[in-house]
Amino acid sequence: MEQGRVLSVASDGDHRFSKRPRAEIRILAGLGVEGDAHQGETVRHRSRVARDPTQPNLRQVHLIHAELFEELSGKGFEVAPGDLGENVTTLGLDLLALPTGARLRLGADVVLEVTGLRNPCAQIDAFRKGLMAATLDKGPDGELLRKAGVMAIVHSGGTVRPGDPILVERPPVPHRPLAPV
């Protein structure tokens, strides 16, 4: 079974790009991170609310792999946990290689279901000019690769802290690759 760990957790009650690192976060089943601006059963991201506020919130929890920060550092960008708006920064887990529907068990109680890729937007360049391009790449067939993390919904809630283990349960085959949500 694949395993990683939680490096950092973050949340913010306001719609800001970055989130504040915390000692722990409480994750609520069917809603997301308690007190976070993106918590809810229906969409909370402003652009999605403007299009259709009744859409289900497939972006309740945002996870980024800390290994991305190392890659970005090599391109001249210093990024810390929470800076890119993620709730959970992971270590030792290839989030981008997970299939849609993979379940992540964080700590003792939390179960998240990966819904898709974060689609980076222009806010990343407002945070650090040129950063959006640094979070995108081209695959061997010329397809666009998005590296800014994955989004998930919450099946089972609880408290998550840095150092908590993360276990991956893959869905039955055939696996569906991640797509932007």
Percent of the chain with pLDDT over 90: 90
- Which pLDDT belongs to residue 119? 87
pLDDT at residue 1 tops 90 = no
At 96-138, the pLDDT tens digits run 999 999 999 999 999 999 999 998 888 899 999 999 999 999 9
Task: Using pLDDT thresholds of 50, 70 and 90, give the confidence band for residue 48.
Answer: confident
Supply φ then ψ for residue 153, to 5 degrees: -110, 165
Please report the domains of the chain, with CATH numbers, ordered by start residue. Answer: 3-169 (2.40.33.20)
- Which pLDDT belongs to residue 49? 81
At 4-40, the pLDDT tens digits run 999 999 999 999 999 999 999 999 999 999 999 999 9
Of 130, 168, 126, 149, whose CA–CA distance to 68 is shortest? 149
Q: What is the mean pLDDT of residues 63-80?
A: 97
User: What is the pTM (predicted TM-score) of this model?
Assistant: 0.96
- Which pLDDT belongs to residue 46? 77
Of 74, 112, 109, whose CA–CA distance to 93 is shortest? 112
DSSP letters of 69-130?
HHHHHHTT----TTTTS-SEEEES--GGGPPTT-EEEETTTEEEEEEEE----THHHHHSTT
- Which pLDDT belongs to residue 121? 80
Q: What is the mean pLDDT of residues 67-83?
A: 97
- Which pLDDT belongs to residue 25? 98
Of 49-53, 76-80, 140-144, the poorest mean pLDDT is in 49-53
At 133-178, the pLDDT tens digits run 999 999 999 999 999 999 999 999 999 999 999 999 999 999 999 9
